[in-house]
Amino acid sequence: MNTSIMSKRGLSVGSRAELVERQFKALCHISQILCRAKNIEETLDGILAVLHKECGLLHGVISLSDPEHAVLQVGALYSESESVSKASSAVRYQAGEGITGRILQHNTSIVLGRISSEPRFLDRLALYDLELPFIGVPIRGGDGSAIGVLAAQPDVPADDYLPERTAFMEAVADLLSQTVRLLVNVEKGQTLASERDELRREVRGKYGFENMVVGHSEGMRQVFDQVRRVAKWDSTVLILGESGTGKELISSAIHYNSPRAHNRFVRLNCASLPETLLESELFGHEKGAFTNAVKQRKGRFEQADGGTLFLDEIGEISPMFQAKLLRVLQEGELERVGGGQTIKVDVRIVAATNRNLEAEVEKGKFREDLYYRLNVMAIRIPPLRERLVDVPELSKFLIGKIAKQQGRELRLTDNAVRMLMGYEWPGNVRQLENCLERASVMSEEGIIDCDVIALPDNYSGNAIMPSTIAVQEVDLNNPEMDERERLIAALEQAGWVQAKAARLLGMTPRQIAYRIQTMKINVRKI
């Protein structure tokens, strides 16, 4: 019976000597493939083809270990079926799962005389004849641990030559070891490169010029033009503006659109640290320089070498520390705290402040020479109250950002936009964003109207009512307004007096009260 199956399915083996000779020739062929290898994937495919055609070891599969996810995945497969080859990329084995997973877990070869006798065998690609044997051997790394599995099926039933075929497969696995290590490293490199490229695209999308400035006021277009011009040079930049105007966003845009974009962008808020810690944070320290200095540490200047250092709230540092900072800016040299070695650094400085540094210089609170060293290119960001024309576009941009964070659709009504434009925004863009985020939380349906927007008083913190805000007269018969918008517009015009709003809409007080309740409108008390 064995003879008939052999003649029908596979190559005639003959004597053990003939088998050894055929395997020797195959090893020579495999060695030649490895020597002239140019493409790793083609190399593996060529080796599996030799096993299939010259050695009667069918449907060879090389599975690679993915330690990060603790799985085995198919790296190469010999099959004449295109659909099987495509499906193989989705096949995964957990460590210890099936025969392939057990080979990896135990780092040892497994030989089955007949696949059907082993219930743990998983033929997920339906490759193998269940009445024939199966041989799987580990592919080991430099430290001897299993990094993959080589598997194939002899084309004849189990016979006396299974040990020789297994030894041959193990020899091929040893030859494959270095190639598989290269493939694993290439795949890791490709993954890292892909993640790096994706991160760069994300950064460019976030800090690209087109997303940096929202609005078309003259002041912001001037800022946009200045940033675009200065980004391509290494000039020191001083960003001036009130808190909440977006100084850090501007500094990020300068870095990520500059030739230094591939190097680090390091930030430090100078007002957040006492002077004793500020020096160590910026310049670094040597081991033992002070009580808690248990090891050497690089400062922000060294971390930003080749890139950009953003010094926020630069106006808060003391005159004594200003002198130390000036030396680094002038000479490009520093010494770590507790050290005597001079360290050269190549860092672009972008500084920011909400103080009037010219006035501080006149008062003697800020060094004049440091001011001129920083003030090479000054960019002033206008406060939001000076560009209220930008509020509609800026609000819609921020609502889109909030909607993405909350994973739902949000819409800002025209009445709400008019209400926002009537406020002076002492906290600038940061306050506007916080206001819109609170309103979105209060809006169950995702429609942000005047009733969910709370505008705090500049001084007392009390909510400003719509009657105190200059709201434009709205056409209550406008067909583009829905019923809720029309009702809120009428309430605004009526100073949130329901009876008066009812008369504007031709309703009774009972009708308007019912609609306010059913539409979940927060009535403002005057």
**In the predicted structure, residue 290 carries a pLDDT above the cut 60:** yes
Clarify whether residues 472 and 448 are in a common domain: yes
Q: What is the largest CA-CA distance in the chain?
A: 108
- Structural domain of residue 20, as residue ranges? 2-188
151/137 Cα distance (integer angstroms): 6
Question: Is residue 196 domain-resident?
Answer: no
Cβ-Cβ contacts under 8 Å for 208 (sequence gap 6 or more): 253, 256, 257
Cα 419 from Cα 469, distance rounded (Å): 7
In-domain check, residue 197: no
> What's the rounded Cα separation, in Å, for the pair 176 and 34?
8
Residue type, 282: L
**Band of the pLDDT at 2, cuts 50, 70, 90?**
very low
Same domain, 155 and 246: no
The number of C-alpha atoms within 13 Å of 243 and in the hemisphere containing its C-beta is 7
Shared domain check, 352 and 261: yes
What is the reported pTM?
A: 0.53
Do 309 and 399 lie in one domain? The reply is no
The CATH number for 79's domain is 3.30.450.40
Tell me how far apart the alpha carbons of residues 23 and 27 are, in angstroms, rounded to a whole number: 6
* Average pLDDT of the residues in 231-237: 92
In this structure, are 161 and 308 located in the same domain? no
Helix, strand, coil percent content, the chain, rounded in steps of 5: 50, 15, 35
pLDDT tens, position by position, 187-208: 444 444 444 555 555 555 555 5
Residue 524: the pLDDT is: 58
Residues 100 and 142 occupy one common structural domain = yes
Shared-domain flag, residues 392 and 291:
no
The pLDDT mean for the chain works out to: 81
What are the tokens at 285? 């320290």
On whether both 330 and 420 belong to a single domain, the answer is: no
Domain end position, chosen among 357, 382, 407: 382
Is the domain of 409 the same as that of 357? Answer: no
Same-domain check for residues 40 and 125: yes
199 within domain boundaries = no
Is the domain of 289 the same as that of 216? yes
Q: Is the pLDDT of residue 3 over 70?
A: no
Task: Say if residue 235 is in the same domain as residue 279.
Answer: yes
- What CATH number is attached to the domain comprising 372? 3.40.50.300
Number of domains into which the chain is organized: 3
Residues for the chain: how many in total?
526
